[in-house]
């Protein structure tokens, strides 16, 4: 397996709409494997392809990565087809280091996508799984979780990031 480099804000690939996957081929299956390995080693509970520099609509999720049996979900071309309720939960992101914040999301979602055999699947999720699916699908649409924050909180994070980069360069 290969652990891929995780792109961090403000890299452009994170801010663009990902391309739909026309064909689930060996390259896509291999990318999904590498993404899962990268997510587990980060450690994280979700990863979208654009977070590893590939602008394709592919995500991996496992909300219980420390359990011996894997609950890995891999979806190509995922879309949210139904939502219900609202929940506020603290989120973080592998591509937005040093930032955690409360974000409002739907409490329940129904997501449709393709598995790695090209078969259409639907997942009904609630709680943490619903939140993670929404977070990763946002990534595929070029939306980072910080876009769900108030302008003030978003600007504070961006200022903190600029100062950190200035210190590293100076």
Confidence of residue 68 (pLDDT cuts 50, 70, 90): low
Sequence-ordered strand ranges (E) for the chain: 46-48, 58-61, 73-84, 87-93, 96-105, 108-114, 120-126
Q: Which residues have a catalytic role annotated? A: 136
Instruction: Give one DSSP letter per residue of 62-98, joined into a string.
Output: -S-TTSSS---EEEEEEEEEEEE--EEEEEEETTEEE
Contact by Cβ (8 Å): 21, 117: no
The class that CATH gives domain 12-169 is: alpha beta
Count CA within 13 A, CB hemisphere, residue 58: 27
For the chain, how long is the longest CA-to-CA vector? 52
**Taking 90 as the threshold, does the pLDDT of residue 24 lie above it?**
yes
Q: Is the pLDDT of residue 59 over 80?
A: yes
Kindly list the domain boundaries of the chain, sorted by start residue: 12-169
d(CA 79, CA 142): 14
The model's pLDDT over 25-57, given as tens digits with 9 standing for 90+, comes to 999 999 999 999 999 999 999 999 999 999 999
Kindly report whether the global pTM for this prediction surpasses the value 0.85: yes
């Amino acid at each position: 397996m290969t652990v891929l480099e995780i792109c961090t804000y403000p890299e452009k690939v994170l801010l663009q709409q990902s391309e739909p996957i026309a064909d689930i081929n060996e390259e896509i299956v291999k990318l999904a494997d590498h993404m899962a390995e990268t997510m587990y080693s980060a450690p994280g509970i979700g990863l979208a392809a654009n977070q590893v520099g590939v602008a394709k609509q592919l995500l991996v999720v496992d909300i219980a990565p420390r359990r011996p049996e894997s609950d890995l979900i891999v979806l190509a071309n995922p879309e949210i087809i139904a939502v219900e309720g609202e929940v506020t939960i603290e989120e973080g992101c592998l591509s937005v280091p040093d930032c955690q914040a409360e974000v409002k999301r739907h409490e329940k979602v129904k997501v449709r996508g393709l598995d790695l055999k090209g078969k259409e699947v639907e997942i009904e999720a609630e709680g943490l799984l619903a939140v993670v699916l929404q977070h990763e699908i946002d990534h595929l649409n070029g939306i980072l979780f910080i876009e769900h924050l108030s302008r003030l909180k978003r600007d504070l994070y961006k200022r903190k990031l600029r100062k950190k980069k200035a210190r590293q360069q100076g």
